[in-house]
Amino acid sequence: MGGVNITVVGIGADGWDGLVPSSRALVEAAEVLFGGERHLDLVPAVEGQVRTPWPRPMTGLPTFLQQYDDRRVVALASGDPLVSGIGTTLIRLLGPDAVTVVPAVSSVALARARMGWSAEETTVVSLVGRDPAALRRELAAGQRLLVLSSDETTPMAVAELLDTDGYDDTRMTILGNLGGPDEYRYDGTTHDYGAWSSDLPRLHVLAIEIPASEPDINTWATGIRDDLFEHDGQLTKRDVRASALSRLEPKPGQLLWDIGAGAGSVGIEWLRVHPRTNAIAVESDPARVERINRNAAELGVPRLWVVEGRAPDALADLPRPDAIFVGGGATAPGLLELCLDRLAPNGRLVIHGVTLETEQLLIASFHEHGGELTRLSVEHVTPLGGRFTGWTPSRAVVQWTWEKS
């Protein structure tokens, strides 16, 4: 964008009185002042200054900003503008050279201070505009979580989720209007949510402390238990799944295509590795699509993008992936060629096959393109009758792994 330059000044719930002199001077010197209506009401009027709230919806922001080229523009934001704030949006839109951020004390820092929790032992989760099911990825015995709530309904939704998932005695503290004259605090547990007031403060941080005595339901290991997934038999089993994920090598910010997703297990586990991973599950069966969405929510990654369609046609308009997993349908005409072409440089491709036809395709691909070819055979002990047990083999899987140099 042209000549738009913006200084973003963080302001707390204590308003003008809480701003340091240098931040006050920036606000007073601005020709144009942006902010939410609540923020604009916190600062005194300045003669001749143009004051305008952000556009609604925010998709109109680029056009909105172009009106103020070559003006001294200041924007007000809550606390630290780079903590789930407008500062991040503006930098993505204008670039870091066009945006100067002057933070105030963030709501996260204030919440830690009120709870007496160190930064090192606290995980911050944003549910602003997000499905509360995303919290499930972070749940574990002994965890301390600060939740950036979307609105006054978030504590109730979180309490119900914790109660449903078996975290019965979890301590919950609602910290509202932090730093302001009407600061609010409510302490309770998941058992108390039915008695909570319906007029909780809209602006709050939710502090969650899960006792160490709670059962350890969650894990961040790859190859989680098969029974955690709802499925109809089309599931990449945990031992084979762990092998695939080790070769797919999930990395922050990277995108996976999970083709022929079945229950969505590979895409879901890719997302659970790190909060900034991205994944698209492609599945042609409508019932399985619904099942994938349920599995993603239950396992804490509702951000999984599920595409209903048959590969390769369903892949045509998808963003370029950094990794591709093909769990079924690898022999579909044109699919392998499309994957090889669309995969990003240094991307990883992992294809599984259990039929002779797919095995022949993967052997031929290995000889033509190189990579790694592995045959995975897993056996489990099962009853044979009476007091005897024995090994029962699962269907062997041929795994071809290739990296695009």
CATH number at residue 307: 3.40.50.150
25-33 long-range contacts (CB < 8 A, ≥24 apart) are 26/74, 26/102, 27/74, 27/76, 29/72, 29/74, 30/72, 30/73, 30/74, 31/71, 31/72, 31/73, 32/68, 32/71, 32/72, 32/73, 32/74, 33/73, 33/74, 33/75, 33/76
Is residue 197 very low, low, confident or very high in pLDDT (cuts 50, 70, 90)? low
For residue 381, what pLDDT is reported?
95
The reply to whether 285 and 388 lie within a common domain is yes
User: 170 in a domain, yes or no?
Assistant: yes
Is residue 144 very low, low, confident or very high in pLDDT (cuts 50, 70, 90)? very high
Q: pTM (2 decimals)? A: 0.90
Using one digit for the tens of pLDDT, what is the confidence trace for 348-383?
Answer: 999 999 999 999 999 999 999 999 999 999 999 999
| pLDDT higher at 283 or 66 | 283
- Indicate the residue among 105, 121, 146 that finishes a domain: 105
Residue 146 has pLDDT above 90, yes or no: yes
Using one digit for the tens of pLDDT, what is the confidence trace for 166-185?
Answer: 888 899 999 999 998 889 89
User: 52 in a domain, yes or no?
Assistant: yes
User: 321 in a domain, yes or no?
Assistant: yes
- Per the structure, the count of domains in the chain is 3
For residue 198, what pLDDT is reported?
65
The reply to whether 199 and 272 lie within a common domain is no
Residue 1 has pLDDT above 60, yes or no: no
Using one digit for the tens of pLDDT, what is the confidence trace for 82-128?
Answer: 988 899 999 999 999 999 999 999 999 999 999 999 999 999 999 99
The reply to whether 122 and 49 lie within a common domain is no
Residue 361 structure tokens: 């395709």
For residue 191, what pLDDT is reported?
81
The reply to whether 38 and 93 lie within a common domain is yes
The reply to whether 260 and 366 lie within a common domain is yes
The reply to whether 232 and 348 lie within a common domain is yes
- Indicate the residue among 156, 181, 209 that finishes a domain: 209
For residue 369, what pLDDT is reported?
97
The reply to whether 267 and 238 lie within a common domain is yes
Residue 279 has pLDDT above 90, yes or no: yes
Domain span at residue 331 reads 226-403
Is residue 42 very low, low, confident or very high in pLDDT (cuts 50, 70, 90)? very high
